[in-house]
Structure 1
């Protein structure tokens, strides 16, 4: 289906938004917590029930032993967030000091996520965390740049406040350049607006010179539950946040499809195509074991 990477200039609700989309997807979905600054789902949403023995760091260790080991480890380090196994999470780093070990593993992980989307029919949501720059480019250690390069869409998550816009404004040009030079094109970049503040979507779009591709309502009770700091809301299944996240995913999928069609024309800049190694593609078989068909 789609690979969507969420980033921010500063804490703007990236993880909560990514989790909301993963939970609300009508298809098999995966949330990959790939913030080099460390993950928060383990201590938050999962309430410390997942140990450091499970998660992203172990994939870097496996990748060094070969792609077949990476495929096996990827499936082994996912955590189910529903009984069917159709919604899963790859927990993030427990210590930012682990980030350098992943620098050489990001390209292989990007391939795995591409396979899950293109061949497995997954909605893949990447929590890429807060952007870090070095000499006007994405920092090679503190940002998982290869995951952004391979994503169908890269969404800059901002709140509807002047402060959030001021911080995000400095990130738009480096992101455009990065996606133009190494990704699938600058048109992959857009904004996911968190409606926590007075600014309206057209104001945000004008300020950042980017399209606002979707907006999520500010719903404190549901957001606190997803962050692990609040109780389960009584009417979680009727949550405006989850409903809007489901609608947003539909918009993203449509936008990704339009981009794919556009890239098929000779005049369009083709997306970089890297065939997945058979060992990497084998992750689908491992993930399919025990998963329930969501259409049943």
Structure 2
């Protein structure tokens, strides 16, 4: 349905925890999936947090920079996903973030093709949540917030949290108005820690409140530091109930904004030179490259230990089979002759973008093996 960006700010407002809560609480119709992408330039935290270090840090955003330079960003994206759905159905997925903030400059030219690729997933039945952290809405990665359908800012309702958020929200609002789809894309997701009500905060900042999450450290610790997300008490907790309500409000905002922007889109289609728009997406997703029939190639030594399998479901990621409801599959792409799956390795982080282009033969990273998956023991 949409690409949703979640941004944080000073005072550790819990952007990643809120994004994970939205991922697990997001209402999914049959045939639809949702993907959480950790785009925080300061580094991702889900692998060491919610997954408690049980998944080796060989998957993630850092591998996409090299792939994008080779024109393989869309193909490599599928090899980096981790299944977070409790039943192993692969309908709630994670693309882990950077493991080192020094890797962020290497993604300076990858952010825009990445968000184009993620927007291209919508016809295939995917919603996308972007965790931008505290600094992902500024600098080279600001294009992620500008291209998002809705930008959700997490705030704590304390005086310190609201005071620190004021200049950040003002700058973000102006940036969305001038470089994005409009300032009305910005909304608030509040954490009720302080004495200020949602109506007071909304009136003070002039922004709509999309949700009010409780200040529940014990429950939130399951998302931030690990725990059993399949436990009935966690699923029925106030945090997850309010996260489901927030997800509904976000979807309503997306629909209302799209209805409002629909005339502009129609005018742009009728007069392509009158209304400038983004360049057409050149990165298409190969469907045949990750069919379940390639299960023999999908075996990977990395697997959940028994306790992790119980927490996140017994079924492996299984190659992310296409949805029956998808309109039309993208054409497949075969691996290059010199990049056989059994010989391929994991790429290394993208070099600093200021450095000159290196000859192709000097690069040590190879194309990523098809079907890197997690199998429960």
Given the two structures, how large is their TM-score scaled by the length of structure 2?
0.70
Q: How does 1:276-291 map to 2 (within 5 A)?
A: 276-277=281-282, 279-282=283-286, 286=290, 289-291=319-321
Contact 2:7 2:136 in 1 (8 A): no
Correspondence for 1:4: 4
Partner of 2:55: 50
Aligned length: 284
Larger radius of gyration: 2
Partners of 1:183 and 1:272 within 8 A in 2: no
Report how far residue 9 of structure 1 moved: 1.7
Match of 2:43 among 33, 38, 41: 38
Q: Give 3-state SS (helix, strand or coil) of 1:73's partner.
A: helix
Segment of structure 1 superposing worse, 175-184 or 160-169: 175-184
Encode CA deviations 1:183-207: one digit per residue, 9 max, x unaligned: 1111101111111221101111123
Task: Calculate the aligned-residue CA RMSD, in Å.
Answer: 2.6
Change (3 A) 1:262 1:215: same
Please state which structure has a larger fraction of its residues in strand: 1
Residues 11-51 of structure 1, C-alpha deviations (whole Å, 9 max, x = no match): 20100000011111222111101100011111111111222
The TM-score with structure 1 as length reference comes to 0.87
Any gaps of 5 or more consecutive residues in structure 1?
Answer: none
- Structure 1 residue corresponding to 2:203, chosen from 202, 206, 229: 206
The question of 1:107 aligning with 2:112 is answered yes
Partners of 2:290 and 2:199 in 1: CA distance: 44
Matches within 5 A, 1:54-69: 54-66=59-71, 69=72
Report whether the alignment pairs 1:249 with 2:250. Answer: no
| Structure 2 segments unaligned to the other structure (5+ residues) | 269-274, 293-318, 326-377
Check conservation: 1:165, 1:207, Cα contact below 8 A: no
Does structure 1 conserve the Cα–Cα contact (< 8 Å) formed by 2:34 and 2:128? yes
2:173, 2:250 → 1: CA distance?
Answer: 18
How far 1:219 sits from its partner (Å)? Answer: 2.3
- Note the alpha carbon deviations across 1:248-295, whole angstroms, 9 max, x for none: 111111111111111123599979454322x33446984995449699
Distance in 2 (alpha carbons) for counterparts of 1:294 and 1:36: 35
Partners of 1:88 and 1:227 in 2: how far apart? 17
